[in-house]
Amino acid sequence: MRRVAALIIQQSMNQTLFTFAEKQNDMASLPVLVIKFGTASITRSNGEPDEAVIAAIARQVADLQAQYHIVLVSSGAVGAGKNAIRNYKGALSERKAAAAVGNPLLLNLYARHFAQYGIPIAQSLCERRHFADRRQFLQLKETYQELWKNGIIPIANENDVVSNLELKFSDNDELATLMAAGFGAEGLLISTGTGGLLDAEGKIIPEVKAVDNEILALVRDEKSALGLGGMLSKLTYTRMATRMGIRVAFFTIQTPDGIGLALRGETGTSFLPQKATLNARQKWLGSGSLISGRLVLDAGAVQAIRARKSLLAVGVRSVKGDFDKHDVIELLDGHHHVVAIARSKHSAADIPTGLAAQNFEIAHADDIVVL
């Protein structure tokens, strides 16, 4: 009997360990979902956080945690803290001070409402350099993976308290896109005031196959008084995300169960992902790098770049900026539209021009990401 009991116990322990290992493997293989909330989405008109909205976010995200590794990108710290700053005018120093006051207020609300579902949250204050330096980004990624492994949801925001103008994100639409691209996210959801992309008649467009000039022409100047971004910003970063194979959806958290509906394409606007064959390093290069300079290319060089060939100096019409060897640069066409991002093999001063430069390679094809 003792042997039978011991065998049963051992089998039970083995099954428990196997089940735990299975769960760990399942957790490791979960797709990543990034959800971004702008200031106008989660605050009232006076800038104070809307607790009912925070509660709705916690409830809906809790329903999805078993299916995704989730990152929340949340604005609202400056709005939450600006009332504490006397004669607030919106200067950079005042925004930093307001963020220092507002960050703990906002995170306390998130923590309190997620706690109702047994979910801890973590604050992640990010700066541009965390994405520009690949080693720092990999450290950030490792930290997030540890958080997810322990059932913790990171809530990311720009580190407004210390960020300066040179290293500042343009807005949290960019931060959310860098998160999605860097982590190879399956989806990026962006809560907007309009609930989606509006057509010329003010109706929501349910699906967009590609963010082209026709789509960009629909942009209206509807930036809120509280936030920094607008629809043009959202579409710019949506184009980047979809070109990296990420599905993007615009929705509004004011819609009941809006997050789940947006995931299923049943509300707002869905932007279809494009076919992408980029590896993790190329995704980082195309989205997270600080741009140090620009090269304007002729039509032949643009065609070669789009055909996944290396960039030769003979195709360069002009050099803009004082970049160094191994810096990341933008490659522009004759209309100054960005066609690719590249890591330069040479400094700006060392790039020759003219026919003598015909076989001078500026960037290898493996270090070029076509956008």
User: pLDDT tens, 267-289?
Assistant: 999 999 988 667 666 666 666 55
The pLDDT value recorded for residue 19 is 42
Instruction: Reply yes or no on whether the pLDDT at 9 is more than 50.
Output: no
Backbone angles phi, psi at 338, to 5 degrees: -75, 125
Tokens at 285, concatenated: 């290069």
Q: At residue 80, what is the residue type? A: A
Instruction: Reply yes or no on whether the pLDDT at 228 is more than 90.
Output: no
The pLDDT value recorded for residue 221 is 53
Of 125-129, 214-218, 339-343, which gets the smallest average pLDDT?
125-129
Task: Name the band, by pLDDT with cuts 50, 70 and 90, for residue 8.
Answer: very low
Q: What is the topology classification, in CATH, of domain 31-280?
A: Carbamate kinase (3.40.1160)
Report domain extents, the chain. Answer: 31-280, 290-370
The pLDDT value recorded for residue 74 is 92
Mean pLDDT of 307-334: 87
The pLDDT value recorded for residue 291 is 72
Q: How many CB atoms lie within 10 A of CB 133?
A: 15
Q: How far apart are CA 16 and CA 20, in angstroms?
A: 6
Q: How far apart are CA 121 and CA 107, in angstroms?
A: 8
DSSP-assigned states of every residue in 261-301: HHHTT-SSEEEPPPP----HHHHHHHHHPPEEEEEEE-HHH
- Relative to beta strand 316-320, strand 338-343 is unpaired
DSSP-assigned states of every residue in 239-252: HHHHHTT-EEEEE-
Instruction: Reply yes or no on whether the pLDDT at 73 is more than 90.
Output: yes
7 or 367, which is more confident?
Answer: 367
What digits encode the pLDDT tens for the residues 92-107? Answer: 888 888 888 989 999 9
Tokens at 258, concatenated: 């809006």
| CATH number of the 290-370 domain | 2.30.130.10
Mean pLDDT of the chain: 82
Q: What is the pTM of this model?
A: 0.75
CB 75 within 8 A of CB 234: no
Instruction: Reply yes or no on whether the pLDDT at 16 is more than 60.
Output: no
Percent of the chain at pLDDT exceeding 70 = 80
What digits encode the pLDDT tens for the residues 124-180? Answer: 988 777 776 778 888 999 999 999 999 999 999 876 655 554 434 546 888 898 889
Q: How far apart are CA 268 and CA 208, in angstroms?
A: 11
CB 109 within 8 A of CB 85: no
Tokens at 288, concatenated: 């997270």
Q: Order of strands, edge to edge, in the sheet holding 368-370? A: 316-320, 291-297, 328-332, 338-343, 368-370
